[in-house]
Amino acid sequence: MKTGIKFGTLLLAATLLFLGPAISMADHHEEVSNPDVKCLKCHSKNLKKKLEDGETMSLRIQVDEFGTSVHQVIGCTGCHRDVAKGKHPSKQPIASRRAYSLKHNQTCSQCHEAAHDSYKGSVHASMVEHGDAEAPVCSDCHSAHAIQTRTSYEPVNGEPCSTCHSDINDAFAQSVHGLARTEGNQLRGEHVNAPSCAGCHNAHDISAVTDTEYLVPKCMSCHEVAELAHEQWLPNAGMHLKSVGCAACHSPQAELRVDLQLFDRLKQAPVRQNENNGTVQETLAAIDTNGDGLDPVELWKLVRQINEQDETIDVTLLGRLEVTNSVDAHRLAASTEAVRSCESCHRGNAEPFQNVTVSMSRKDGRKESFKADSRVLNSAMSVDSVGGFYAPGGTRIKVLDGLLILALLGGLAVPVVHITLGKILRKKTGTDNK
């Protein structure tokens, strides 16, 4: 009897020990399918794997997160197809956590081909391609096992973008867009949704924000009447909308700069870095021999050198007034607070023109910038090289100021000299009118 009780107790204990986790999971997460229960039998525990780079990777799955993810319907083997009955990759070495994420980045494309194709052209994918260890792969934004529906990314908390771009997200939260999302759209009516991150930058085909042809149309896609509204009061509205970034005026506290981008007049497109022109830094550093930023003569040489090297292009520098940093670009204010004073740019030595960069687009659209001397905007040497940027008053050419002074002095001198000459001659010849 005593033995029987003991045996029965042991059997119950053993049963609870083996089935306990499964019963517990079934209790809390009925959505988890039976085959997955088998996986979770081990992977709900604190399993770890030693990686080849010396680090340790947790193999534990948060059961409740997976149970509520949209992927619970496809189960573990939906993604982990290398796992089957009698086949488990536990012995296979994993180089690093990053290598494992990169490997499974391809797994997502098996079902999400369109999204993955979009991602492949994005600035994020380009960073991955260039070996940036911080560049996001699918699981960095969507997580590995707690994958949620698309609508879960809508709230203003900025997830998942804020994971990497927290400072930008903080600025956005206080912007006219961010406040419209949290406090209601006071300006355009509640029925108009202010954009979240993906509203401007897209979800997967995220372009480099410095790609100038990308963002303005994005703004215009919601602010349909913006062009017309600017034309009502702003002289040369079309030119301003093309060569002044929206945030340059609509983020009134932002620090500004002029970015002079190498632009091909024949193709009417920015010059992108390619095999022939090497890295931007190398190309520009070779010109800026003293390393203090490109001066007007160096800039003129740069443009001449590029045009001489390649007969199929006709390069000039196209200027664009933009905010200096991406945080300011997201600190957009209501239109009533936007900079409206023309004098802020069109006066001599205006602040935005003291900060000048020269840039070239990389293949993925991101720009690499190089410091330039602000004199490049006021020099006669820049008439050809900086052919694509001029702000009357603000970037006036100093030599012409000198010519104008000469014209004024000359205009005054002619009568003075002529009258004096007359007096001398009359005195000399005795024909002075009495």
Residues of the shown chain interacting with another protein in the complex, contacts defined by CB under 8 A:
233, 235-239, 241-242, 265, 268, 316, 342-343, 346-349, 380, 382-384, 386-390, 392-393, 396-397, 400, 403-404, 407-408, 410-412, 414-415, 418, 421-422, 425-426, 429, 431
Cβ distance to another protein smaller for residue 50 or 304: 304
Cβ distance to another protein smaller for residue 158 or 394: 394
Residue 407 Cα distances to 268, 397, 402, 416, 417, angstroms: 38, 16, 9, 14, 15
Q: Which two tokens stand for residue 270?
A: 């920015």
Cβ distance to another protein smaller for residue 138 or 386: 386
Q: Closest by alpha carbon to 287, among 170, 278, 54, 379? A: 278
Cβ distance to another protein smaller for residue 244 or 287: 244
Strand partners, 368: 360
Cβ at position 256, least distance to another protein in Å: 17
Query: What H or E segment, with its residue span, contains residue 261?
Result: strand 256-264
**CA 186 remoteness from chain centre:** 28
List for the chain the helix, strand, coil content (%; round to 5).
Answer: 50, 10, 40
Query: Any alpha helices (H) in 87-130, and if so which ranges?
Result: 97-109, 113-120, 123-129
Identify whether the C-beta of residue 370 lies closer than 8 Å to the C-beta of residue 291.
Answer: no
Interstrand relation of 56-58 and 48-50 (parallel, antiparallel or unpaired): antiparallel
Cβ at position 381, least distance to another protein in Å: 11
List phi, psi (to 5°) of 20: -50, -55
Cβ distance to another protein smaller for residue 75 or 388: 388
Interstrand relation of 269-270 and 48-50 (parallel, antiparallel or unpaired): unpaired
Identify whether the C-beta of residue 371 lies closer than 8 Å to the C-beta of residue 293.
Answer: yes
CA distance 170 to 164: 12
Residue 214 Cα distances to 82, 90, 383, 421, angstroms: 41, 46, 28, 66
Cβ at position 76, least distance to another protein in Å: 57
Cβ distance to another protein smaller for residue 188 or 398: 398
Cβ distance to another protein smaller for residue 20 or 422: 422
Cβ at position 220, least distance to another protein in Å: 14
Cβ at position 424, least distance to another protein in Å: 9
CA distance 323 to 327: 9
Cβ at position 267, least distance to another protein in Å: 12
Cβ at position 349, least distance to another protein in Å: 7
Cβ distance to another protein smaller for residue 95 or 225: 225
Cβ at position 334, least distance to another protein in Å: 21
